[in-house]
Structure 1
Amino acid sequence: MATDEPNVSIGDVSHSTFAVGSHAQAVSHHGTSGQRDEATEELLKAVRELRADLTRVRGDERTAALDSALAQTEDEITRTGQAAPSRRERLRELLGDSQALLNVLASAGAVAGLLGM
């Protein structure tokens, strides 16, 4: 018995992105994470440690700005596998403005050191 319906065959779809339907959209995020070098891994670890340490100090607008920049850096590294030079420069600026914080928190010193400060 023959039908007029199209025949569709799907093989291996590993690491593929596709959408079906008249309003379907497909967005691929394959290969965007997990491809970090050792220096970026160290920076990510230090960023996370500093963010944790910031929760233990009395916050102000400077610590809030630093935490926001650290969160953005963590997100960027997680999504893309690296922190863009502009993101690193912003962290350098914020850490430079928070010199007193650097004297208190060893994790801030670790991040600053990994940023070449």
Structure 2
Amino acid sequence: MAADEQPQGGGIQGGVHIGSAKGAFAFGPNSVANNYEAPRRPLAPEQEELLQVVRQLREELGAFARSPETDELTRQLGETADEIQNTGQASPGRLTRLRTALQDAATAVGLAASGATVAQAVAALLGG
């Protein structure tokens, strides 16, 4: 094949390789991509409340000086939010880890406006 010739069919040599992808994609003219996800069930009111205050506390912690305790609390808050969003609720084990992280970072939590609200929501869900 001469250097200025294209392979039969007008294709491009080499191609494209996509190892993995998530979501909806469309390639080429007039392409349409549809992403059909099952609608998520609404959260129970106590889980919705916990999710909101967890997000709020995580945001507020960004204004405080970092420490190993606040870093761990930030991580636990993120994992709690993810679990609620993915499964519809925070498991007792997750709530226990969050409660421990709240206790370990008590100084920062006490200064954050939503800290007490998160602690109360966790205690209510754990039954005490």
> Would the TM-score normalized by the shorter structure come out above 0.5?
yes
Question: Could you tell me which of 48, 60, 70 is aligned with 2:67?
Answer: 60
Percent pairwise identity: 35
Q: What's the TM-score, normalizing by structure 2?
A: 0.64
Name the structure 2 match of 1:40: 47
Higher mean C-alpha displacement, 95-104 vs 52-61: 95-104
Name the structure 2 match of 1:89: 96
Instruction: Quote the Cα distance in structure 1 between the aligned partners of 2:119 and 2:107.
Output: 13
* Residues 20-79 of structure 1 deviation map (CA, whole Å, 9 limit, x = unaligned): xxxxxxxxx746x43310000000000000010011111111111111111111111111
Amino acid across the alignment from 2:86:
R
> Number of residue pairs matched?
89
Contact 1:34 1:78 in 2 (8 A): no
CA RMSD of aligned residues (A): 1.8
Contact 1:43 1:111 in 2 (8 A): yes
Name the structure 2 match of 1:78: 85
Q: CA deviation at 1:102?
A: 2.6
Structure 1's consecutive aligned runs of 4 or more residues displaced over 2 angstroms after TM superposition are: none
Q: What's the TM-score, normalizing by structure 1?
A: 0.69
Amino acid across the alignment from 1:43:
L
| 1:101 correspondence with 2:116 | no
Q: CA deviation at 1:101?
A: 1.6
Segments of 5+ residues of structure 1 without an aligned counterpart are 1-28
